[in-house]
Chains A and B, each alone.
Chain A
Amino acid sequence: MVELVIFVLMGSGALAGGVTVVMARNPVRSAMGMLGSLVSLAVIYVVNLAHLVAAVQVVVYAGAVLTLFLFVIMFIGVDRAEDTSETIPLQRKLVAGLALVVAVGAAVLVWRGRFSWTPAAAESVPIPNGTVQALGGELFTTWVLGVEITALLLTIAAVGAIALAFYRRSGKASAEK
């Protein structure tokens, strides 16, 4: 019962946020919609026993990533209202068709799948509990190599971002003085 209420509330919140992202003409509003969507999803994660993921979602996504987005929006200029008329012929119609096909296809697949939660009778299987301990143990044992590689990826991304930021036409990458 509680789950149903949360699903309905947070689900509609996430959808509303998504619609705002897509529809808002001002990028700042899109960012706000994004924020709503992310937070709603974080709540849903909690219901789905993924506590750590929910926390990371709020801290990293809603906190860091979205702040970065907002920063760039401010940098580029907030007042640039976008012209919403479509210039590419047939683009909107085809996108609508594609969206429809994907949505209908996904719905058909999901409901034909008749997914259900793991039966409680299987006592040997602990209900996954996304605590820091449980997830951390999993990440640093079974998936340790993946963690290292993503760490490397993050480093590369950081270096790349800095290189892009300080790129000069002469091709020299040097810190600003």
Chain B
Amino acid sequence: MIELPTEALWLVIAFPLGGALLLHFAGRWLGEPLAGYLASAASLAALAVAAVAAVPFFTGEGHPSQSLLWEWMPAVGASFEISWDPLSALMTLVVTGVGSLIHIYSVGYMHGDPRFARFFTYLNLFTASMLTLVLAGNYAMLFVGWELVGLCSYLLISFWFTRPSAASAGKKAFVVNRIGDFGFLIALMLIFSTFGTLSYTGVFDRAAQELSGWAPTIIGLMLAAGAVGKSAQIPLYVWLPDAMEGPTPVSALIHAATMVTAGVYVIARSAPIFELAPVASGVVAAVGAITALWAATIAIGQSDIKRVLAYSTISQLGYMFLAVGATAYVAGVFHLMTHAFFKALLFLAAGSVIHAMGGRQDMEEMGGLRKAMPVTFVTMGVGVVAIAGIPPLAGFWSKDEILSVVFNQGGWYTALWLIGLITALLTAFYMFRQFVMVFLGKPRWPEGVTPHESPRSMTVPLVILAILSVAGGLVNTPFRLGLEHFLEPSFEGVRLGHPPEGVGLVLVLAALAVGAGVVGAAMAFFAYHRPPEAWRRFQSGFGKLWGWWENAYGVDDAYGAMLVTPGRRLSEQTAFGVDMKVVDGAVNGVAWLVQATGRLIRPAQSGLVRQYGLWFGLGLVALLIWILVRGVA
């Protein structure tokens, strides 16, 4: 058994970071397949190091440990230190594992793109940023990773920046995230002013003694604000659907392995603070539950294959928020992990479909792809079943655990549980709706489109992810709480939410969740496994509601009218009113004043030496008279 010292963990970040640097400078020279292989190798190397380092935690012999890389700002407890505990180990494995598969998949997907190498530069940088975030040993380093992730998301979403929609989507992601980051920064300042340090150990060890009154609630809410931005919750979720403008592997990376999970991770990591702030936890749970339902209804109305998945991600992230808000940190992280598997699978499968359809994303134009692309069909089917929460696939175990823990919290959490249950039904409905529309029925392909199965480099990751989606849930079942024991050292001293004690109640809850999933799936199957005219009739049955769903409740338009348009008008006023009239006016006014003064006194410099002499004489005489009249002293 190799014992990898914590000191060597910097390699986990160094591999993708080095890959990014190398590709940045030599990517063009390395050329098309090689750059992709190199990036994938860097990601796999990070995975290998992380896996070896995580072995002690699996065997139960590991202890959380820190390793200081170098001092940065010792005065605020901020340095580049790596914190290695089960939580960060799990996150690292998910990020590098799923990330590696996405890297490999991208080699096939990005084939022929003129900026092939640059894409992998960004992917590697993205991975390195996310690893910096999860491996950080203090809030300052976490914030560095946090911001780098934001930057990379911007770079990747607007990767095809020549398309205006992609460029503005990247901007939108960046700006919306910035709003959350503002709250996050406030949280960091509050933490520093309270504890005098930003290091995890320093904060968490003394959290119970130092925090009192409303302090933990405010810190918790501010942290949650940052998390809401990163993890795309109400009201800051609007950037995520637009993030579809990036290449599909990017969507998979953002939605599954990196970026959006950062918010959930931060809340789970800050569990000792949230434990002291039940109000903040409650807000997180409520936001999560409402977001889950809200996004699920929107997902129903979408016809773009990637938008359905985007709103699905928001909805699933709502589940995770609900879990961590209900102090079910293990369940939340568990769902984060399983979701990483099946959402990456779904996205990559969707990418495969888009690839086959020649870039078309409208599900109305698909249908009957079952025969054309069998591997994609089967693997995506696995993903759909997994997210719908049908046992024994991964989604069932994590979602069921979340719902049962939330139910067990009692009180008004019961209402949240009910929302979660309805969302489970809707989740199954929109996922099966998508599945049926894409793969079943008769082909509705436009002229000239002949779908074909994707290349090996794309299907192999699909298969691996499908296997993980099937088996991933088994790490933490009510019969064998593997993940809970695994994560125990990370949540030491934190009261964790638990499912109800009685076996009967657990079974009833599970049956309800599964029932919701099955009902939703059945409804979707019966409504959509019919000709398109029948769907339309079915959809018109919802009346105005369907229009709202299709329009995503018009939130984008509302934000546009409330914030963007006034902002643009203010900018215009500032640019053409304040700047051109006031600022430029002042500048020009000064110039005019100088010019006018010059014009006024210019005749004094006549160039005529006689005149100068006269002035000189007059001045001299005046001075003499002055002296003679006043006296010298």
- A touches B (Cβ under 8 A): yes
B608 within 8 A of partner (CB) = yes
Contacts of B73 in A (CB 8 A): none
Q: B591-633: which residues lie under 8 A (CB-CB) from chain A? A: 606, 608, 610-611, 614, 617-618, 621, 624-625
A94 within 8 A of partner (CB) = yes
A91 within 8 A of partner (CB) = yes
Partner of A88, one of B611, B617, B618: B611
Interface pair B621/A88, CB less than 8 Å apart: no
- Number of A residues near B (Cβ < 8 Å) is 8
Contacts of B610 in A (CB 8 A): 88, 91
Interface pair A95/B621, CB less than 8 Å apart: no
Contacts of A94 in B (CB 8 A): 614, 618
Q: A96-110 CB contact bits vs B (8 Å, 1 = yes)?
A: 001001100100000
Interface pair A105/B624, CB less than 8 Å apart: yes
Contacts of A91 in B (CB 8 A): 610-611, 614
Q: B87-125: which residues lie under 8 A (CB-CB) from chain A? A: none
Q: Mostly helix, strand, loop or mixed at chain A's interface?
A: helix
CA distance A73 to B624 in the complex (A): 36
Interface pair B614/A98, CB less than 8 Å apart: yes
Partner of A98, one of B606, B608, B611, B617: B617
Partner of B614, one of A95, A101, A102, A105: A95
Interface pair A101/B621, CB less than 8 Å apart: yes
Q: Mostly helix, strand, loop or mixed at chain B's interface?
A: helix
Contacts of B625 in A (CB 8 A): 105
Interface pair A105/B621, CB less than 8 Å apart: yes
Evaluate whether A88 and B608 lie within 8 angstroms (CB atoms) in the complex, with A94-B614, A95-B614, A98-B617 already known: yes
- B612 CB to nearest A CB, Å: 11
CA distance A91 to B611 in the complex (A): 7
In chain A, what residue has the closest Cβ to B613?
A95
Interface residues on B, range: 10 to 19
In chain B, what residue has the closest Cβ to A86?
B610
Contacts of B606 in A (CB 8 A): 88
Contacts of A98 in B (CB 8 A): 614, 617-618, 621
Q: B108-145 CB contact bits vs A (8 Å, 1 = yes)?
A: 00000000000000000000000000000000000000
- A136 CB to nearest B CB, Å: 35
Contacts of A88 in B (CB 8 A): 606, 608, 610-611
Contacts of B618 in A (CB 8 A): 94, 98
CA distance A45 to B579 in the complex (A): 77
CA distance A133 to B624 in the complex (A): 38
- B605 CB to nearest A CB, Å: 13
Contacts of B608 in A (CB 8 A): 88
- A80 CB to nearest B CB, Å: 18
CA distance A94 to B617 in the complex (A): 10
In chain A, what residue has the closest Cβ to B621?
A101
In chain A, what residue has the closest Cβ to B614?
A94
CA distance A95 to B614 in the complex (A): 7
Contacts of B617 in A (CB 8 A): 98, 102
CA distance A95 to B617 in the complex (A): 9
CA distance A88 to B603 in the complex (A): 12
CA distance A26 to B624 in the complex (A): 35
CA distance A98 to B610 in the complex (A): 13
CA distance A91 to B608 in the complex (A): 11
- A112 CB to nearest B CB, Å: 11
- B448 CB to nearest A CB, Å: 82
CA distance A101 to B626 in the complex (A): 13
CA distance A105 to B626 in the complex (A): 12
CA distance A101 to B624 in the complex (A): 11
CA distance A131 to B547 in the complex (A): 124
- B259 CB to nearest A CB, Å: 72
- B631 CB to nearest A CB, Å: 14
CA distance A95 to B624 in the complex (A): 17
CA distance A91 to B621 in the complex (A): 16
CA distance A168 to B621 in the complex (A): 41
In chain A, what residue has the closest Cβ to B625?
A105
In chain B, what residue has the closest Cβ to A94?
B614
In chain B, what residue has the closest Cβ to A87?
B608
In chain B, what residue has the closest Cβ to A95?
B614
CA distance A169 to B625 in the complex (A): 47
CA distance A101 to B621 in the complex (A): 8
A-B contact pairs, 20 of them (CB 8 A): A88-B606, A88-B608, A88-B610, A88-B611, A91-B610, A91-B611, A91-B614, A94-B614, A94-B618, A95-B614, A98-B614, A98-B617, A98-B618, A98-B621, A101-B621, A102-B617, A102-B621, A105-B621, A105-B624, A105-B625
The 3 closest A-B pairs by CB, nearest first: A98-B617, A88-B611, A101-B621
New A-B pairs, 16, CB < 8 Å, besides A101-B621, A102-B621: A88-B606, A88-B608, A88-B610, A88-B611, A91-B610, A91-B611, A91-B614, A94-B618, A95-B614, A98-B614, A98-B617, A98-B618, A98-B621, A102-B617, A105-B621, A105-B624
